[in-house]
Amino acid sequence: MTKPASVSFIGAGNLAWHLAPALDNAGYVVKEVYSRDARNAESLVEKLYEAEVKTDLDFSTSASSVFIIAVPDDVIPEIAQEIALPGDAILVHTSGSQALSVLGYAATPNLGVFYPLQTFTMNTKVELNSVPIFIESDTPAGEKVLMAMARSVSKTVYKITPEERQALHVAAVFASNFTNHMLYLAQEIMKENSLSFEWLKPLVTEMITKSLSIGPENAQTGPAKRGDLETLDRHMDFLKHDEAVSELYKIISQDIVDRYTRDL
């Protein structure tokens, strides 16, 4: 049986905080962690078996064979330009939206994407084995290594094309980021009116459960779904003190009306 590859991380933020220990526990020994903020690297290294803090991007003499860039999307091209790697290294990023080609500046032909579809927060536990991981690679050898690595930490691993990954990321923004922002706006409305956000939690829990169970198109309710224009007008009047939120309410409501009442 082939020994799992050793790994180095460039970045010590939310994703690395979860992925590095998971790989370490799966036998993919993490050797080095680099971060622009050395304190983040030091904190992550404390959670790992053999890792050391790396203070620069010269990995040319590293014992690792896989290098995982886990940094904000806009920093990836700069890292790819500056990093020095061993000749047979596999370099991957973890972005859902950045193209594989942003790694093209790096001096290795083995490039890939290792994209876990989940929202990560540093001190919030995530069961990584249930998180789908999507793999993209420009070489068969690199794909084989990355697929094996992904399967060591997750039960659901898929190969994906650049076009599919872009669609997946856009859908994920709607499903996760936008949904969370709606909850933030709801929380602000409750606060402004001296009401408890706790009151909304059973509603939100039931909505998510039902949507995932019977499909969002079947779970939709509310005044816009019913085409109840009088209620929509009252809500718009209630929100008139906040023009941005009022406009957002109008746009979303109109989209729901258009999609669900066209046949009424």
Q: Which amino acid appears at position 19 of this protein?
A: L
Tell me, yes or no, whether 2 lies in a domain. no
26, part of any domain: yes
Asked whether residue 240 is domain-assigned, the answer is yes
Cβ atoms of 65 and 85 within 8 Å: the answer is no
Chosen domain end from 128, 160, 192: 160
> Which of 160, 176, 199 corresponds to the end of one domain?
160
Domain contains 25: yes
What is the number of structural domains in the chain? 2
Domain check: are 183 and 121 in the same one? no
144 within domain boundaries: yes
Contacts with 185 (C-beta within 8 Å, 6 or more apart), sequence order: 245, 248
pLDDT at residue 107 in the model: 84
Range of the domain at 238: 165-260
198 inside domain: yes
Do 133 and 15 fall within a single domain? yes
Pure H helices in 177-260: 179-192, 201-214, 216-219, 223-226, 229-238, 243-260
8 A C-beta contact, residue 114 and residue 149:
yes
Residue 170 located in a structural domain: yes
CATH number at residue 63: 3.40.50.720
CA separation for the pair 264, 256 (Å, rounded): 13
Predicted local confidence at residue 5, as pLDDT: 85
Taking only the tens of pLDDT, the chain with its 264 residues reads 466 789 999 999 999 999 999 999 999 999 999 999 999 999 999 999 999 999 999 999 999 999 999 999 999 999 999 999 998 899 999 999 999 999 988 888 899 999 999 999 888 888 999 999 999 999 999 999 999 999 999 999 999 999 999 999 999 999 999 999 999 999 999 999 999 999 999 999 999 999 999 999 999 999 999 999 999 999 999 999 999 999 999 999 999 999 997 654
pTM score of the predicted model: 0.91
State the pLDDT at residue 2: 60
Residue where a domain terminates, one of 127, 160, 193: 160
CA distance 232 to 236: 6
